[in-house]
């Protein structure tokens, strides 16, 4: 740690005053930065980077927000709104005031409205209608009305958890992208979904309802597969929860798979909850079949284990298998449309749960007095609160019970989820199973950037179907060793944290990376996102990292006596 303002003891040369001043400045910053989360640190670094000393274009490779979008579903959404307004004008029309849509014959009128020969968006909508009628046997009028009313947003979400046809389509999407080695269609039929305001809300709702339903208590043991997306580290720790966190500390050497000692911890029946991001963030690796088998075995030994798996990067791995597909009765699945579809502003995600699940089972097994308390809580909204499923309790809790009748994700957001899901399902029906050209394109974008970064840094990437290549983790001490030898690497480790490196990379070069340590990585790790900058930026980032490393090396040469 660079908590010592004095220069290294071995120093034999006079250190210039401005170097000491800079060091003092950084140490001061480090002290305050260490308290902040990775995302907040990156925010601070952005300010430095914008005014960087070299006047480089500023490069923010911190955030995971993609720089591509899926187009056709968005245009289809706009088209549905257009038709919806036209439909509404059939029942009432005074300048910019119109009435409500009518069910009878709406599908025929929608077909008339579309011009598939002239417009590929209309062709997409027509294909989508045909696909849904054939595959799911939807009644065309009720499906079109759900799309139209949903997109124009003329009514509260009813049912509040999810619109009816929407649930079927979201389930088909999840099955097609996240379950590969089981009968996905069968599992989809047993799966209930709750669309949420992104993965972010999904995570918050899950924690809140676990607590409200007395499934987690202060001091309970929770296993977290670290390193992990920062909210999973901070939420269990905060006052409301105060859970006892056990980090699995997956390692790069193991390609972020569960290590044998980690698997041992899973078998412990005092562990209540397992939380995973799979494929991981920041590790960017999907769990192997061995890791999945270990989780399955742990559930056999520990049948009440509650698992939360966040699979937002599932589509970026090959033949991805969700933990939900392996142990569906124990698992809540979180998915978000944000990353693949470039839709972070829409705030669209989903929680999925099996009809027959451990969460409901554990609620039923609570002591009578606690059950009575919960029945009182949910008795305000359900005649038989004891039968209310955990997933529906999450919907009610998300609006503090009292506002249950207006709960649920906004209907335009639900329809956007439907249209993204349908784009994938239609692509697969044309391109072939697991051949969706849009997904292939998104994967190829991150791959190109991953290769450019590795080439620039002179390191070998890890070529594996499990590697999403959405993020890279850079170990600055390992790079130092590779470039200039062990002695230099040790000096760097003894004197400078990755925060010093981050700070200088921002201030001097205008390049912002993320502090990997904030995700629970070991010291020296920085996260680079391959999602959000143009391809050529990744060569520049590599060259900035090399340049900064060279300047540390120059300093080492000056400050530390060397054998001639
Ligand atoms: C980006 C991300 C999310 C957030 O998803 P939103 O839908 O944008 O809220 C959730 N989990 C992980 C692991 C992520 O990387």
pLDDT in tens, 495-537: 999 999 999 999 999 999 999 988 989 999 999 999 999 999 9
Determine the pLDDT at residue 30. 76
Q: How confident is the model at residue 13 (pLDDT cuts 50, 70, 90)?
A: low
Distance 500 CA to ligand 1 centre (A): 27
pLDDT at residue 1, rounded to an integer: 37
pLDDT in tens, 539-554: 999 999 999 999 999 9
Q: Give the pLDDT of residue 296.
A: 95
The helix (H) or strand (E) run that includes residue 151 is: helix 140-152
Contact status, residue 144 vs residue 106, Cβ threshold 8 Å:
yes
Q: What is the mean pLDDT of residues 328-345?
A: 98
Percent of residues in the chain assigned helix, strand, coil, to nearest 5: 50, 10, 35
- For a ligand 1 pocket test, name from 200, 313, 316 the mutation site with the most ligand atoms within 8 angstroms of its C-beta: 200
Burial (CB count <10 Å: 0-12, 13-18, 19+), residue 221: middle
For residue 122, the SS3 value is helix
Q: What is the pLDDT of residue 21?
A: 78
Question: In angstroms, rounded to a whole number, what is the distance separating the alpha carbons of residues 564 and 559?
Answer: 14
Give the residue-averaged pLDDT of 321-334: 98
Best residue among 39, 199, 281, 285 to mutate for probing ligand 1, ranked by most atoms within 8 Å of CB: 199
Cβ-based neighbour number of residue 564 at 10 Å: 3
Q: Is it the case that residue 19 has pLDDT exceeding 80?
A: no
Q: Which of 304, 268, 311 is nearest to 287 (CA)?
A: 311
- Residue nearest ligand 1's atom 7 by CA: 198
Residue range 13-27: mean pLDDT, rounded? 74
- One DSSP character per residue, 350-399 reads EEEEESS-HHHHHHHTS-HHHHHHHHHHHHTT-SSGGG--HHHHHHHHTT
Give the pLDDT of residue 138.
98
Only one residue has tokens 């009968």, namely: 183
Query: What does the pLDDT average to over 432-455?
Result: 97
What are 192's strand-pairing partners? 353
Residue 329 DSSP label: G
> Among 15-19, 245-249, 515-519, 554-558, which range has the highest average pLDDT?
554-558
d(Cα 388, Cα 372) in Å, to the nearest integer? Answer: 13
Residue 563 pLDDT level (bands cut at 50, 70, 90) = low
Return d(Cα 459, Cα 117) in angstroms, integer.
Answer: 50
CA distance 105 to 61: 51
Q: Which residues contact 38 (CB under 8 A, 6 or more apart)?
A: 230, 514, 515, 516, 517, 518, 519, 527
Q: How far apart are CA 441 and CA 452, in angstroms?
A: 17
pTM of the model: 0.93
Tokens of 226: 């670290």
pLDDT band, residue 240 (cuts 50/70/90): confident
The lowest-confidence range among 258-267, 344-353, 379-388 is 258-267
333 Cα to the center of ligand 1, angstroms: 13
CB atoms < 10 A from the CB of 22, how many?
A: 14
Q: In the chain, what are the domains?
A: 4-64+439-559 (3.90.1150.10), 72-155 (1.10.20.110), 191-411 (3.40.640.10)
pLDDT beyond 50 at 346: yes
Round to whole Å and give the CA distance between 135 and 146: 17
Find the residues whose C-beta lies inside 6 A of ligand 1. Answer: 64, 198-200, 229, 277, 281, 310, 312, 336, 338-339, 344, 349
Tokens 């890279």 belong to which residue? 472
> What percentage of the chain has pLDDT greater than the value 90?
79
Structure tokens at 365: 């097994």
pLDDT at 9 over 60: no
Higher pLDDT, 1 or 405: 405
Cβ-contact 515, 528 below 8 angstroms: no
pLDDT score for 289? 94
Percent of all residues in the chain with a pLDDT value above 70, rounded to a whole number: 97
Return the ligand 1 atom nearest residue 339 CA: 1
How many Cβ atoms sit within 10 Å of the Cβ of residue 486? 10
Mean pLDDT value of segment 162-170: 98
Confirm if 206 and 359 have CB atoms less than 8 A apart.
no
Does pLDDT of 28 surpass 80? no
Could you identify the atom of ligand 1 that is nearest to the CA of residue 64?
1
Give the distance (Å) from ligand 1 centre to CA of residue 235. 14
Confidence of residue 4 (pLDDT cuts 50, 70, 90): very low
Q: In the chain, count H helices and then E strands.
A: 22, 14
- From 42, 196, 197, 198, give the residue whose CB has the most ligand 1 atoms within 8 Å, as the site to mutate: 198
Q: Are 25 and 33 in contact (CB under 8 A)?
A: no
The reported pLDDT for the residue numbered 6 is 40
Upper half-sphere CA count for residue 85 (Cβ side, 13 Å): 9
| pLDDT tens by residue, 39-55 | 888 888 888 899 999 98
Mean pLDDT of 102-107: 98
Rg (CA), the chain: 26
Instruction: Mark 339-350 as b/e (b = at least 16 C-beta within 10 Å).
Output: bbbbbbebbbbb
What is the residue-averaged pLDDT of the chain?
Answer: 93
Q: What local confidence, expressed as pLDDT, does residue 17 receive?
A: 80
Who wins on pLDDT, 240 or 98? 98
């Amino acid at each position: 740690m660079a908590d010592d303002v004095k220069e290294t003891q071995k120093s034999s040369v006079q250190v210039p005053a401005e170097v000491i001043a800079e060091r003092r400045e950084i140490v001061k910053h480090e002290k305050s930065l260490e308290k902040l989360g990775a995302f907040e640190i990156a925010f601070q670094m952005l300010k430095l980077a914008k005014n960087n000393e070299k006047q480089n274009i500023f490069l923010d490779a911190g955030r995971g927000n993609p720089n591509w979008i899926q187009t056709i579903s968005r245009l289809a959404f706009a088209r549905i709104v257009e038709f919806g307004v036209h439909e509404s004008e059939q029942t009432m029309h005074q300048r910019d005031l119109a009435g409500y849509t009518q069910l009878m014959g709406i599908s025929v009128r929608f077909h008339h409205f579309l011009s598939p020969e002239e417009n590929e968006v209309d062709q997409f909508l027509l294909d989508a209608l045909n696909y849904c009628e054939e595959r799911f046997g939807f009644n065309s009028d009720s499906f079109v009305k759900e799309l139209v009313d949903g997109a124009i947003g003329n009514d509260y979400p009813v049912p509040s958890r999810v619109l009816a046809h929407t649930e079927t389509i979201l389930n088909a999407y999840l099955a097609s992208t996240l379950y590969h080695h089981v009968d996905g269609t069968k599992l989809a039929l047993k799966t209930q979904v709750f669309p949420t305001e992104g993965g972010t809300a999904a995570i918050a709702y899950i924690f809140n309802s676990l607590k409200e339903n007395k499934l987690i208590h202060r001091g309970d043991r929770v296993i977290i597969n670290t390193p992990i997306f920062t909210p999973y580290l901070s939420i269990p720790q905060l006052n409301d929860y105060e859970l006892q966190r056990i980090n699995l500390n997956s390692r790069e050497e193991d390609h972020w798979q569960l290590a044998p000692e980690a698997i041992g911890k899973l078998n412990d029946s005092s562990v209540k909850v397992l939380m995973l991001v799979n494929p991981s963030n920041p590790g960017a690796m999907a769990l192997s079949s061995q890791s999945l088998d270990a989780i399955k075995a742990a559930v056999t030994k520990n049948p009440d284990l509650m698992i939360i798996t966040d699979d937002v990067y599932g589509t970026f791995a090959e033949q991805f298998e969700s933990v939900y597909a392996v142990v569906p009765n124990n698992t809540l699945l979180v998915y978000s449309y944000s990353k693949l579809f470039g839709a972070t502003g829409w705030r669209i995600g989903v929680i999925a749960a099996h009809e027959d699940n451990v969460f409901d089972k554990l609620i039923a097994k609570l002591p009578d007095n606690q059950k009575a308390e919960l029945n009182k809580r949910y008795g305000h909204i359900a005649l038989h609160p004891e039968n209310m499923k955990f997933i529906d309790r999450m919907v009610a809790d998300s609006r503090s019970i009292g506002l249950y009748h207006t709960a649920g994700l906004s209907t335009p957001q639900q329809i956007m989820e439907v249209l993204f899901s349908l784009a994938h399902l239609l692509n697969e029906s044309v391109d072939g199973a697991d051949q969706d050209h849009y997904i292939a394109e998104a994967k190829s974008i991150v791959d190109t950037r991953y290769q450019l970064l590795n080439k620039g840094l002179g390191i070998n990437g890890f070529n594996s179907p499990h590697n999403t290549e959405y993020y890279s983790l850079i170990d600055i001490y390992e790079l130092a060793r590779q470039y200039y030898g062990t002695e230099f690497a040790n000096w760097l480790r003894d004197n400078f944290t990755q925060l010093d490196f981050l700070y200088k990379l921002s201030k001097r070069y205008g390049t912002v990376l993320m502090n990997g340590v904030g995700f629970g990585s070991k010291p020296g790790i920085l996260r680079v996102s391959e999602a959000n900058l143009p391809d050529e930026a990744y060569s520049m980032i590599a060259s900035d990292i090399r340049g900064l490393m060279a300047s540390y090396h120059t300093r080492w040469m000056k400050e530390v006596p060397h054998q001639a």
